[in-house]
Amino acid sequence: MGNLAQNLLDTAARDGDHAAVRMDDAVLTYAELRDAALRVAAFLQELGVAPGDRVGMVLPNVPSFPVLFYGVQLAGAAVVPMNPLLKAREVEYYLRDSGARLVLAADMVAAAATEAAATVGIEAIPVGAVLPTEAMADRPADGAVERADDDLSVILYTSGTTGQPKGAELTHANLRSNARTGGQQLVESTPDDVVMGCLPLFHVFGLTCGLNASVLAGACLTLIPRFDGTKALSVIQRDRVTIFEGVPTMFSAMLHAPDPGSFDVSSLRLCVSGGSAMPVEVLREFEEAFGCTILEGYGLSETSPVASFNQLHAERKPGSIGTPIPGVEMRVVNDDGVDVPRGEVGEIAIRGENVMKGYWGKPEETARSIPDGWFRTGDLARQDDDGYFFIVDRKKEMIIRGGYNVYPREIEEALYEHAAVAEAACIGIPHPELGEEVAAAVALKPGASAEPDELREWVKARVAAYKYPRHVWLVEALPKGPTGKILRRAVEVPQGVGG
């Protein structure tokens, strides 16, 4: 099986004239993508990049990303993808920690990478957005360097809630199997599909389910460098997008775009949501407005990412992350690693062909997170009698109020049911007697109005007395991570609240 990039060579041989990647008017066919990637591989080999070396990549969603990604794979090296919004100090950490040989960066975002590379003492190569000609040799490499299944393909840094980011080591076999089962099989993609590429490709969801799954199926990936609800709707209409993959905030942004009904989105056959829990109310409103099905899945950087999914031909349960995908097992366990009874809350543990090799250079962390061959996710869930999993919350973000557990997600779900609420984040704030008090920051839909007291009473009527947020405040927008996931830990508490 070997090199992940063999998928690109196979698809290009079979269907070279088919559009592989597009961004507005720029289009690369599969033959063009393959030829450019082989020239990147030759360029890297001329620089002395050897199989197993690490190569940093700092690019937004532009056609050069897939060209470079597959070029590095073809050369047998491993990619270290980074968010283009990172500052030089952060890029420097990734380059040092991974021992990267060089870093490739899109010229419009190359300043931080160039500065960081100079500090570390390696080369930074700025490249164009459509074709990375600055990193392409005159002639192509001979093909894909042979790699073993267990060889490193990508190091993905996960933003830990505490401490420095850790590099999840994903192998060729991890990414290959997850593109097949987590990407292609579950959505039944074919060369006729047009997949919306608005999830960042430097993040595992976009990389596997967007790029690698599309290349395997021979589908076309249409890219948006910077997500915007109106732009997404216009691209769906223009390119006749059939599969939209996003995080919940993207679905909200499309719903709340000005005049969303004016776009023709009838080509959409399937939407996939992941990255964080999809509020049931957003799911319902979106499906009603746009007439298409949303299937929710679950996974992490450490699991390549897809672990479970609501499958096309099975019962779909809104609010559930479905059942494990083929080749993957999931359990709900207590702190001792023992299964908890059905219906009770415990931590999700995962075993299978999608689980990472380990954390780069951190054997103790690896042993702690995979103590017995089962990866401990830090996510709390319960399993129903049909075997469907329901995420309750992140273990670290659970609020303990006076000895009672409060799961932020439950409070947010109640807030989303209010007609004026666009986004909500529930957090715990210190309290002298109770340990923590429940609080919520809320962003309203454009043109809507609601008072904090009204929102507090709304939740109070829907949850147990110990759970409702004693403090509610309104914000313009909530802080979000690189994928658009709402970051509870970055929510700022206004002065005078709590304390």
Could you read off the pLDDT of 444-491 as tens digits, one per residue?
999 999 999 999 999 999 988 889 999 999 999 999 988 888 999 899
Please, which pLDDT band fits residue 161 given cuts at 50, 70 and 90? Answer: very low
Q: Which pLDDT belongs to residue 278? A: 86
How many other CB atoms sit within 10 Å of the CB of residue 34? 25
Amino acid, res. 394: R
Amino acid, res. 331: R
Please, which pLDDT band fits residue 169 given cuts at 50, 70 and 90? Answer: very high
CA–CA dist 435, 439 (Å, integer): 13
497: its two tokens: 């609240």
232: its two tokens: 């997404």
Q: Which pLDDT belongs to residue 404? A: 78
Q: Which pLDDT belongs to residue 275? A: 81
- Check if CATH label 3.30.70.360 holds for domain 399-490: no
Q: What is the mean pLDDT of the chain?
A: 94
Query: pLDDT for 38-89, tens place per residue?
Result: 999 999 999 999 999 999 999 999 999 999 999 999 999 999 999 898 889 8
Q: Partners of 400 in the beta sheet? A: 405
**Is 160 a residue whose pLDDT tops 60?**
no
293-394 matches 399-490 in fold: no
- Check if CATH label 3.40.50.12780 holds for domain 5-226: yes
CA–CA dist 236, 197 (Å, integer): 11
Please, which pLDDT band fits residue 410 given cuts at 50, 70 and 90? Answer: confident
Please, which pLDDT band fits residue 499 given cuts at 50, 70 and 90? Answer: low
Query: pLDDT for 89-109, tens place per residue?
Result: 889 999 999 999 999 999 999
Map out the domains of the chain as residue ranges.
5-226, 293-394, 399-490
Please, which pLDDT band fits residue 163 given cuts at 50, 70 and 90? Answer: low
Q: Which pLDDT belongs to residue 393? A: 84
Q: Which pLDDT belongs to residue 69? A: 99
Query: pLDDT for 256-300, tens place per residue?
Result: 999 999 999 999 999 999 887 788 899 999 999 999 999 999 999
The highest-level CATH class for domain 293-394 is mainly beta
Please, which pLDDT band fits residue 432 given cuts at 50, 70 and 90? Answer: confident
